[in-house]
Structure 1
């Protein structure tokens, strides 16, 4: 293998640039040519492909987002779109591809592998919802962004003696809500994997009232329901002054943490190693601080599993 490509797809996450940098520099170290594909699979179909040099990835390791940009592409979900993408890869002489992204991005990589094109998936998503890895690129940065926001909200919740409902990202996975809620001592954490009964939440708040508690923090993953709906129901049931904050896309931005920079560097470099070893149709990950890889079909056939011990602990500590 003499020439590889790299793209980012789907939602951006802090650390993607560090992963791109690792792929490019590791490849060049091994005398490979590297081509960056802009705008994900949409850019692949359109031929938005340029050769990258060492300087192409200078001064990007600390930047959030992705220098290759990203987009969602319905056309690539079709056989015709996939064939157009492979034609572009062949046109540029690219023999292997590194795809940095989440579940949807991996499905595109899976299709390329099925068509006989060597592809490696690198997990980049703030949701931390990819099986086969303990952490995904961007999760730690997003977690710290959420923690910082909740810390600030708690200050005003204390000052005004209010209940605050904070909605965080996590359409199908509650990791951001669980980790940030536990780290910030939230009274209640609501996640899609273990939906709390609203009556239980209200009962917990009332118990707090009875022992003189004057403010509360409730963290809700977007996949478990609307923060505004929770807030409205809580205020009507408890008569507690309740405010709602939806953190939104602020969670995706920002300079990546040291953990995410190192994780992205390790995973990006590992993807190049696997291509050089002749591997294809696998995803890289980290488990127990060791780099691993798994068959992409196996990864995509599994459901993300929440850490139920952490969830139980959060309930025990919020009595």
Structure 2
């Protein structure tokens, strides 16, 4: 069964990006948001991104791509979807509640339910449904239209056929590069990346080195495209903290524990690019 009708729940930065790459692949996309205002903001985010892509020659007709996306405020509009990708806030309770609702709404027995979570165990989400064999993680990276990588994360109960269908969708349909990860906190990329970012934050917090020197050291000395503190701002400090907490909860290793400075910045609403201020001001 080809995955041609795609649903996305959430139209924030990640959800909008996922919807965009699906629409650019000529798929029929339904995006569900929590309310009319959020749906309007999501549509505006999509329109801005597609117009930018059109100006750069990456999209022939932004309006035609946007026409393949329908915004909704009702999960019932996902009933006929072949694949639904959850891209809501990184909160376990909220995701569990959503997966239970999606299980009841999505009609096709062979339809896949996927999460874009960057840290929450897929097994936990799968057991909120009556179809754990058809649940897996499909984790995109920000910005979704630009970065080519997707992590596929089957749980212990996910069928091989489910993973194969998802891999074909990611590779042959979306043109992304898929890597396979075990269902453990952080998966592949964040299990490597988050401790690296946390080490940079601790270095700044302790006064060992200044912000600009930390980032310049990795950019100019290790050929990184951007420094770890700038990267944390791009990811979002709240997301960085949430992933760190998930890693620490699972492994209890000190290197995964969020530094106090990170926690205080999140409490203050200094979340990085999304709020205009984090380690840098935007």
TM tier, smaller:
0.3 to 0.5
TM value normalised by structure 2: 0.36
| Larger fraction in strand | 1
Which protein has greater RCO, CA pairs closer than 8 Å, 6+ apart?
A: 1
TM value normalised by structure 1: 0.33
Q: Which has the larger radius of gyration?
A: 1
